């Protein structure tokens, strides 16, 4: 694929015969209104690894408004100076852009620390005073974003407390928004309950639920790929596509998060949010605009069309697995049950493969296969669209394949692979004639590589998402009904698994460094298909 002609301008909708869903969503370097970001849980890992480095990168790119301020709210007793110093070190260590002293001095000027006990139920006088002071000194005009970087058990009580203290009302013309991250509940009922409680303090339009996958450049590019190109749409349906495979493979284990993972597992940790989001974008209809509610409306419609899996069918529609000890990149790694915080007889899944049927005109009969796992041989997230085979091959002779010469009806089907990470890019596989006197056919690839097509570095997901929240753009955040639909799909599986637990040996059923349990291969083979070798 040629990677030279890159045109970022999208023609105006009225010049485009079918309307242009992308033009309204393009933001040409808009700078948000001055605001204060209050980070609850400011001494935690997320603040130093992701949030403050992302904000600093936005400042370096000139995308933050003058007066933008940060209030770190945390349990420990420390001065603003100590907090600033810790954040300075964090930016130097984890930042995408190098630390520059002059910029840091301006950026950190708007930083405050405020002691805050999540478990206390007292007023929020300190915080309120800090916010009013910032409004006066830095012109933040009552615009506030509350980032809940706290354990999920604190989400509802904190929202309620902010509401009670009048900090969530938008009566003075300033905006009040909240950002939370998964888990948004553990199942459908608890997700509904959480949404209900958040709404006592914040309207849905004030709630920004982060799924960091939606902030990834390559995931946003899915929208452009699908709706900024005319040639794929006619093929993007059951008539031409045999099936879709979505893989989120990780080679890491639970990385010290054994306690969290015991509660969560791969289905809740990755499928319910990241993978289902990818599926929704690949499967949805074209929105009229990439803006506000339209994209989320289309995603929800797609999720509603997902055929419910009855808990009794959970085992025939899914495969779960748990990693045992093994080798990754030449290093011996422990099994899941040997990880800190994990029960020695844990049955928690670290691998899931599942089949999703979508009951609508576009996808009926074209399944989506989803899989994710920890301690697989490599880190790779990709979406593979496998097209149907040619209905009849007019070529005599044999086809050259990696397995040798095979009969002509073995011509591989076309495949379109959208690589989300790493090696971000797109590959189209098609058949070509091998040069020579005979008609030998082999598949070849056309490749588009982000790295060589665009010589700029991609921003981090958190940069995009924090900026969007400041701008009031909710397109890349998960809406209440989206989250609940994703839980509808997953809760039935969890219910089915709970009533049919695997035996102790049956769960620890793949060695680290392999592509998951044998059963995952058999599961695909039953449908006459196979997982892509990544």
Give catalytic residues, as residue numbers: 274
Q: Between 247 and 318, whose beta carbon lies closer to ligand BG6?
A: 247
Q: Which one, of 135, 184, 63, lies nearest residue 462 by Cα?
A: 63
Q: Between 31 and 46, whose beta carbon lies closer to ligand BG6?
A: 46
Looking at residue 183, the DSSP 8-state letter turns out to be -
Q: In the bound complex, what is the minimum distance in angstroms from residue 494's beta carbon to ligand BG6? A: 17
Q: In the bound complex, what is the minimum distance in angstroms from residue 381's beta carbon to ligand BG6? A: 6
Q: Between 149 and 381, whose beta carbon lies closer to ligand BG6?
A: 381
The terminus-to-terminus CA distance of the chain in angstroms comes to 21
Residue bearing tokens 């085992």: 315
Q: In the bound complex, what is the minimum distance in angstroms from residue 114's beta carbon to ligand BG6? A: 28
In this structure, what are the phi and psi dihedrals at residue 81, rounded to the nearest 5 degrees?
-60, -45
511 burial level (CB within 10 Å; 0-12, 13-18, 19+) = middle
Q: Which position's Cβ is nearest ligand BG6?
A: 269
Estimate the crossing angle of helix 101-109 against helix 80-94, to 10 degrees. Answer: 140
Q: Between 291 and 320, whose beta carbon lies closer to ligand BG6?
A: 320
Q: In the bound complex, what is the minimum distance in angstroms from residue 454's beta carbon to ligand BG6? A: 20
The token pair at 296 is: 């989320």
Q: Between 363 and 510, whose beta carbon lies closer to ligand BG6?
A: 510
| Helix H or strand E encompassing 40 | strand 36-40
Decide: 371 and 276 in contact? Cβ < 8 Å.
Answer: no
Q: Between 63 and 420, whose beta carbon lies closer to ligand BG6?
A: 420
272 burial level (CB within 10 Å; 0-12, 13-18, 19+) = buried
Residue bearing tokens 């701008």: 471
The token pair at 473 is: 């753009």
CB contact burial 478-507 (16+ within 10 A = b; e otherwise): bbbbbbbbbbbbbbbbbbbbeeeebeeeeb
Q: Between 73 and 270, whose beta carbon lies closer to ligand BG6?
A: 270
Q: In the bound complex, what is the minimum distance in angstroms from residue 215's beta carbon to ligand BG6? A: 9
Interface residues with ligand BG6 (CB under 6 A) are: 250, 269, 381
Q: In the bound complex, what is the minimum distance in angstroms from residue 478's beta carbon to ligand BG6? A: 13
Tell me what percent of the chain is helix, strand and coil, each rounded to the nearest 5.
40, 20, 40
The token pair at 68 is: 């933008």
**Spatial separation of the C-alpha atoms in residues 140 and 34, rounded to whole Å:** 5
Q: Which residues contact 168 (CB under 8 A, 6 or more apart)?
A: 146, 159, 162, 176, 178, 201, 202, 206
For 239, 269, 375, 380, 523, the CA distances from 510, given in Å and listed in that order, are: 36, 19, 9, 18, 15
**Spatial separation of the C-alpha atoms in residues 297 and 245, rounded to whole Å:** 23
**Spatial separation of the C-alpha atoms in residues 434 and 284, rounded to whole Å:** 38
How large is the C-alpha radius of gyration of the chain?
Answer: 25
Q: Between 23 and 381, whose beta carbon lies closer to ligand BG6?
A: 381
Q: Which residues contact 282 (CB under 8 A, 6 or more apart)?
A: 222, 226, 244, 246, 368, 383, 385
Q: In the bound complex, what is the minimum distance in angstroms from residue 498's beta carbon to ligand BG6? A: 21
Q: Between 346 and 381, whose beta carbon lies closer to ligand BG6?
A: 381
Q: In the bound complex, what is the minimum distance in angstroms from residue 269's beta carbon to ligand BG6? A: 5
Q: In the bound complex, what is the minimum distance in angstroms from residue 273's beta carbon to ligand BG6? A: 7
């Amino acid at each position: 694929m040629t990677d030279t002609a890159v045109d970022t301008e999208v023609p105006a909708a009225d010049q485009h015969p079918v309307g242009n869903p992308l033009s309204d969503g393009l933001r040409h370097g808009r700078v948000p209104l001055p605001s204060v970001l209050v980070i609850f849980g400011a001494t935690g890992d997320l603040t130093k690894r992701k949030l403050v480095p992302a904000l600093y990168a936005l400042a370096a790119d000139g995308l933050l408004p003058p007066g933008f301020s940060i209030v770190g709210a945390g349990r420990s007793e420390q001065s603003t100076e100590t907090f600033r110093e810790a954040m300075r070190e964090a930016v130097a260590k984890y930042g995408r852009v190098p630390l520059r002293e002059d910029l840091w001095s301006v950026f950190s000027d708007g930083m405050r620390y405020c002691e805050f006990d999540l478990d206390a139920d007292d007023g929020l006088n300190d915080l309120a005073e800090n916010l009013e002071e910032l409004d006066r000194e830095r012109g933040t005009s009552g615009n506030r974003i509350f980032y809940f970087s706290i354990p999920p058990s604190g989400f509802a009580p904190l929202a309620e407390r902010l509401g009670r203290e009048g900090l969530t009302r938008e009566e003075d013309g300033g905006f009040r928004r909240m950002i939370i991250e998964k888990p948004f509940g553990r199942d459908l009922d608890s997700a509904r309950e959480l949404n209900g409680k958040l709404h006592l303090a914040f309207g849905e339009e004030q709630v920004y639920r982060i799924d960091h996958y939606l902030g990834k450049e390559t995931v946003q590019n899915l929208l452009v790929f699908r709706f900024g190109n005319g040639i794929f749409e006619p093929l993007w349906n059951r008539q031409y596509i045999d099936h879709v495979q979505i893989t989120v493979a990780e080679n890491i284990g639970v990385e010290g998060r054994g306690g969290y993972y015991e509660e969560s597992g791969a289905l809740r940790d990755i499928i319910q949010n990241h993978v289902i989001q990818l599926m929704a974008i690949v499967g949805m209809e074209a929105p009229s605009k990439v803006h506000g509610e339209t994209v989320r409306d289309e995603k929800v419609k797609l999720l509603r069309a997902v055929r419910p899996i009855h808990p009794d069918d959970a085992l025939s529609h899914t495969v779960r697995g748990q990693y045992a000890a093994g080798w990754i990149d030449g290093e011996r790694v422990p099994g899941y049950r040997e990880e800190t915080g994990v029960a020695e007889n844990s049955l928690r899944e670290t691998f899931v493969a599942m089949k999703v049927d979508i009951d609508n005109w576009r996808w009926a009969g074209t399944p989506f296969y989803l899989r994710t796992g920890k301690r697989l041989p490599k880190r790779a997230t990709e979406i593979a669209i496998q097209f149907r085979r040619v209905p009849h091959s007019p070529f005599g002779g044999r086809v050259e394949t990696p397995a040798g010469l095979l009969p002509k009806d073995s011509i591989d089907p076309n495949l379109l692979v959208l690589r989300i990470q790493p090696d971000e890019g797109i590959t189209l596989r098609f058949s070509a004639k091998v040069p020579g006197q005979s008609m030998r056919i082999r598949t070849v690839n056309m490749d588009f590589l982000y790295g060589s097509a665009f010589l700029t570095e991609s921003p981090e997901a958190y940069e995009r998402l924090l900026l969007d929240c400041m701008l009031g753009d909710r397109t890349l955040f998960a809406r209440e009904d989206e989250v609940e639909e994703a839980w509808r799909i997953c809760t039935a599986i969890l219910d089915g698994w709970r009533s049919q637990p695997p035996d102790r040996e049956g769960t620890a059923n793949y060695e680290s460094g392999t592509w998951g349990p044998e059963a995952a291969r058999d599961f695909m083979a039953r449908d006459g298909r196979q997982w892509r070798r990544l």
